[in-house]
Amino acid sequence: MRAIQVKSYVKGPEDLTVTTVPDPIPSPDTYLISIHAAATNFFDLLQIRGKYQHQPPLPWIAGAEFAGIVVSTPSSNAVPKFRKGDWVFGSSQGGYATQVCAREESLMPVPPGWGFLEAAGLMVTAPTSYAALVMRAHVKKGDYVLIHAAAGGVGLAAVQIAKAFGATVIATAGSQRKVEVAKTFGADYAIDYNQEGWAEEVRKLTTKGKGVDIVFDPVGMVNASLKCTAWGGRIVIIGFTSGNIEKVAMNKVLLKNISLVGLHWGTYSKEEPATVETVWEGLFQLMKENQFKATVYRDRELHGLERVGEALGMLGRRKTWGKVVVSVSQVVDSKL
């Protein structure tokens, strides 16, 4: 098969190359999937440089999110959830390739009416945003929700989920183009957080200037957000894309009775597996009701594994919005 194999750590995504490697051999408990679309993630950029907390032994195939078709089912499972020919999306090491092996719990069915390109980027961002807002922040009708980096993958998912639950969404983003994208996906208001005084502008948008009820923060903007969070508000921390792990002014948290809660979606499969099922049931229901749509970056088409380096480069330079997905051709694998 064709794949982006990392034999030694690289300086950047521009150093990645596509090569031919042996086809993966599924273990008795894994499916073999032919990949038709692969999604990019910030952790890919860290992993190819050897700077991520989870580093496979060299050599390994990069990428972790994909959508494709089931080629074979687990030999140890007489009644598999998916059958040969089913369309699935999922997460497993080795997504930047034409084939990948994956366990059943890391796969989901492609939603009706969705294509591979749209589904490839669902596995990480959508449940992260749903769990953060619904399970941790308990979003409800009438809430004011401030969503930082709202034009990113988790951000656009969060915008749609908050709106579906009846909240008023105030989005922040880092450029005029991204502000426009956030509004396109349903944000009631959108503000460039590079402009001075954005927190005061956010506060003024709420009823009687009381502030927002929920802050969704994948960036590392807790301290700044305290200025516009209402008494009794909730701030959900899901990441630090700014690269800055904050020291929070806890006196302000105390005085305003604010709750700070974290969300690490990746640990739920181990700590609360039942919640994983609940989250996906909720997401699939929103998709069925047309309240959640794909967040694929559309400003530039990216076809072929050869474009993965370019896609990751744009992601790293923050030149994209939504989920950056690369279509993967299966033409060369005639046996499929």
Per-residue pLDDT tens over the stretch 154-171: 999 999 999 999 999 999
Per-residue pLDDT reduced to its tens digit, 283-309: 999 999 999 999 999 999 999 999 999
- In the predicted structure, residue 332 carries a pLDDT above the cut 60: no
> Alpha-carbon distance 32 to 94, whole Å?
12
Residue 336: pLDDT band with limits 50, 70, 90: very low
One DSSP character per residue, 70-111 reads EEE--TT-SS-SS-TT-EEEEE-S--SBSEEEEEGGGEEEPP
Given this model, what pLDDT does residue 241 score?
81
Q: What's the whole-model pTM score? A: 0.93
Quote the CA–CA distance of 308 and 14 in Å, as a whole number: 9
Inform me whether the pLDDT recorded for 333 exceeds 90: no
Q: What is the pLDDT of residue 70?
A: 98
What single DSSP character describes residue 131? Answer: I
Computed over every residue of the chain, the mean pLDDT equals 95
Q: Whose CA is closest to 28, among 64, 65, 80?
A: 80
At 54, is the pLDDT very low, low, confident or very high (cuts 50, 70, 90)? confident
Run of H or E including 268: helix 268-271
Question: How much is the pLDDT for 329?
Answer: 87
* CA separation, residue 98 to residues 71, 178, 306 (Å): 12, 32, 12
* Whether pLDDT at 113 is above 90: yes
